[in-house]
Structure 1
Amino acid sequence: MRPLILIAGLCAGLAQAAEPISIDVHRDANCGCCKAWISHLQDNGFRVNDHVESDMSAVKQRLGVPPRLASCHTGVIDGKFVEGHVPAADILKLRQQPDLLGAAVPGMPAGSPGMEMGDRQQPYQVIGLDQQGKERVLGDYPGN
């Protein structure tokens, strides 16, 4: 019987490892690209808690998103902000960097997750913000 117990324990551990990562997303009710970004997150294994807001400026201010890094929607994961069309892979990078307050894709660059427009892709960067207000590049997407 012990081998069966071991196998059952391994299966339970794998099921726990596959549980989705939870992220809160704050967005305006009428924003289509915000919904598309949420779909990108869900397609990449995130569980999204969708919060429709009437005053996104107040949300961004409360979460400490600098105006220079602003976009249309704001996520929160592990107490850190995720501003704009940040790819799921870069959100995972953010989670591994305890010194960062958040990450952002400023503006709404074509080709970023949620802003797919055919083959067109503008260059963009994912910017991390540390506690001293210094920025560093977490991801660099060259465009076409």
Structure 2
Amino acid sequence: MRTHLRLLALSALFMSSLAQAADLIPIEVHRDANCGCCKKWISHLEANGFKVEDHIEADMSQFKQLHGVPPRLASCHTALINGKFVEGHVPAEQILALNKRDDLLGIAAPGMPMGSPGMEMDGMSDAYQVIGLSKIGTDVVVAQYPAH
């Protein structure tokens, strides 16, 4: 009887682990091999329910151009999710909200704002915006984060 209960408990644990893995949201991150902040941003995504497929790119400028990221919105890495781009240190909550925005081709946190996910530095942060690129090519502010 004890063996049977142990098997049931192990089976339940295994099924729970599979269910959690299935709930992870897939995202592809494309980055330069030498970028440390990109790895920190990937950790932020993983801590917030994303399953990251990490790709090293030899030419990030070409990759950004190929995927429709305008130079004015550029940062250090580019992610792809559900056919849309996520440029730079965008917080996970904004990536999740992107699924509800059929009007946008992608979102970006231009530059490398201090205090954004992956760019945390001793409690200091810059004010920054997450900008959406509409299907007609205009910029739309989708979120604002204050300086601390």
Partner of 1:38: 42
- Say whether the 8 Å CA contact 1:24–1:49 is kept in structure 2: yes
For residue 99 of structure 1, report the CA deviation from its aligned partner: 1.3
Is 1:79 the counterpart of 2:83? The answer is yes
- Root-mean-square deviation over aligned CA pairs: 1.9
Alignment partner of 1:140 out of 118, 122, 144:
144
**How many corresponding residue pairs?**
134
- Post-superposition Cα deviations, 1:23-51, rounded to whole Å, max 9, x if no partner, equal 00000000000000000000001000000
Tell me, yes or no, if the aligned pair for 1:93 and 1:138 is still in contact at 8 Å: no
Which residue of 89, 92, 98 corresponds with 1:94? Answer: 98
Structure 2 distance, partners of 1:77, 1:31, is: 21
Secondary structure at the counterpart of residue 38 of structure 1: helix
State the shift of 1:92 in Å.
Answer: 0.7
The normalised TM-score by structure 1 is 0.88
Q: Name 1:110's counterpart in structure 2.
A: 114
Instruction: Please name the residue that 1:4 is paired with.
Output: none
Separation in 1 of the partners of 2:131 and 2:140? Answer: 6
Instruction: Specify the alignment match of 1:58 in structure 2.
Output: 62
Task: For 1:138, give the aligned amino acid.
Answer: V
Change (3 A) 1:41 1:16: closer
> Which residue of 32, 52, 61 maps to 1:48?
52
| Sequence identity percentage | 64
| Larger Rg computed on CA atoms | 2
5+ long unaligned stretches in structure 2: 1-14
